[in-house]
Amino acid sequence: MNEMPLTRISASAEKQEGIRHAVRCAITMGDLARLASPTDVDSLTTLLADPEISGPIYTLPEEICSRTIGDFVERHLVERQQGKGLLMISSDDAGEVSAYQDIQVWPQWAACELGGALRGNRQNAGQGGLGVAIAIAWLFDEIGVDLICETAALDNVRTARLLERIGFTFKGEIQSNLADGTVRPSLYWELTRDEWAVLSKTTLS
Ligand SMILES: CC(C)(COP(=O)(O)OP(=O)(O)OC[C@H]1O[C@@H](n2cnc3c(N)ncnc32)[C@H](O)[C@@H]1OP(=O)(O)O)[C@@H](O)C(=O)NCCC(=O)NCCS
């Protein structure tokens, strides 16, 4: 097993506290998403019950049902209070959850991991790439991290392509912890604040 992030630069006490405070105060991610609450559990469970969506994601509960997703939402609300985790959701016009973003934060390294998924009928149309770009800008600008990590299953071609198009640097293969106590090999990428500052002025503008 490899502990993330692979790149570790200690953050000052002031920087760490700024990140914790931003996480505790987070309610919306621009116009893209908002904090998940217990009232979203049924709709989020419906989204994640599709194995095409939840299957590739090792950070989700092994069994997807209202109980496990309820626990997942509650755990993230506790992590938010601790300044080290957020679960954000996007909704469609009918108010149903259409995407989610799972953010694990390491204030001591000014770093975070971003994961998530889109509903099947929204995939393969560039929405994932757009959502990730919005989330990255928000994590650097509003939460204050300096490094974003991403992982994907070895066969997750779409995520790999999306991340490399955005400008993440592939760092190799790591072993990820699964909810059932086993490990899974994952591809691993990083993007720094300085790299994003250059990318957002050039290729993405
Ligand atoms: C991964 C996910 C977020 C990507 O979002 P998306 O809107 O489908 O992806 P996008 O359309 O923005 O981009 C996907 C890229 O993969 C490419 N792609 C799609 N299908 C592909 C395939 N079969 N082979 C190779 N490339 C493929 C697309 O062309 C695009 O690349 P490009 O922009 O360079 O052309 C979304 O598909 C999803 O939720 N999947 C299920 C859960 C998951 O895997 N989550 C990520 C876990 S880390």
pLDDT at 198: 95
Closest C-alpha to ligand 1, atom 2: 128
The percent helix, strand, coil of the chain (3-state, each to 5) is: 40, 25, 30
**Does the beta carbon of 60 lie inside 6 Å of ligand 1?**
no
For the entire predicted model, the pTM comes to 0.94
CATH superfamily membership of 13-149:
Gcn5-related N-acetyltransferase (GNAT) (3.40.630.30)
Q: For residue 127, which atom of ligand 1 is closest to its CA?
A: 7
Walking along the chain (205 residues) 10 residues at a time, the average pLDDT comes out as 90 98 98 97 97 89 95 98 98 95 98 95 89 97 98 95 96 88 92 96 68
Contact 139, 173 (CB under 8 A): no
- Mutation test of ligand 1: which of 119, 162, 170, 203 has the most ligand atoms closer than 8 Å to its C-beta? 162
- Mutation test of ligand 1: which of 158, 174, 204 has the most ligand atoms closer than 8 Å to its C-beta? 158
Contact 105, 143 (CB under 8 A): yes
Closest C-alpha among 89, 91, 115, 109 to residue 100: 89
